[in-house]
Amino acid sequence: MALAEIRFFGNSIGCSTTMNVILPDGGKGPFPAFYLLGGLSDDHSKWARFTSIERYVTGVPLIVVMPNGGRGWYTNSHAVPQQAYEDHLIKDVVGYVDQIFPTITGRKGRAIGGLSMGGYGAVKLAMKYPTMFCSATSHSGAVLTPMHKPESRPKEFSPVLEECKAIFGPKFRGGPNDLHALARKCVRSRQRPALRLDCGTGDFLLEQNRAFTAFLKSIRYTHDYAEFPGAHEWSYWDTQVQEALAFHRKYLEIAVYQ
């Protein structure tokens, strides 16, 4: 595999930024792309440094894109227009990847996933842009975000609550970044993205993942959900990203490894 670090200018965030891209060993392409998002304290390098993602995609005709999402929740900030991290992913990152690499453009060639904040971002962006992504995975996802009612907010979210208020604004519930509202609006058709969510049984986000999967069931949004031993830690995500690759492989129609 080839691991490339791409430095480019993000028009939506008004500054230079970086992403890591894993490229297939061989083949002419075009290839599908898997956008793999980090958590609140991560940068573009964490997936490659803390998991064996490069080894897991050896021989797989797949491009893996690991962008830097800052602390922006993959959302266009309500208070700071220059921190448009949703536009950054959708326009800057996807646009640049499609421009310089041999990708399959369109939803049949794109999947998205992530951990914690990135799990929220992956599910949100897939449901908000169902014509762009065919499938989404979330590991230990912050699927209710710190903006939900206090009884569903783990104490670990308290330090970032004010930060998130500036990002999401005063009207989060039912708005364009609320996963409940997006799931209800997401069309019931072949363009409803396939979802897989998982969480460790020792994770502080376990209860909200249980609540969100129960909500999806209540609105008949077919999805996969699983719990495994583990906490909010890289050893857990290293294992689960392998399951995510198998899940996406089906929807990206990657029949065999090279």
pLDDT in tens, 102-140: 999 999 999 999 999 999 999 999 999 999 999 999 999
For residue 17, the model assigns a pLDDT of 97
Tens digit of pLDDT for each residue in 24-64?
A: 988 888 999 999 999 999 999 999 999 999 999 999 999 99
Residue with the larger pLDDT of the pair 144 and 215: 215
Q: Specify the range with the lowest mean pLDDT, choosing from 40-49, 151-160, 192-201.
A: 151-160
User: Please, what is the average pLDDT of the chain?
Assistant: 93
Structural domain boundaries of the chain?
A: 2-251
| In the predicted structure, residue 83 carries a pLDDT above the cut 70 | yes
CATH number of 2-251: 3.40.50.1820
In a 3-state reduction of DSSP, which class is residue 181? helix
Per-residue DSSP letters for 58-99? TT---EEEEE--TTSTTSB-SS-TT-BHHHIIIIIIHHHHHH
Residue 17 contacts by C-beta under 8 Å, 6 or more apart in sequence?
7, 8, 9, 10, 44, 67, 68, 88, 92
| pLDDT band of 87, cuts 50, 70, 90 | very high
Q: CA 139, CA 109: separation in Å to the nearest integer?
A: 21
For residue 256, the model assigns a pLDDT of 59
| pTM of the predicted protein model | 0.95
| In the predicted structure, residue 160 carries a pLDDT above the cut 90 | no
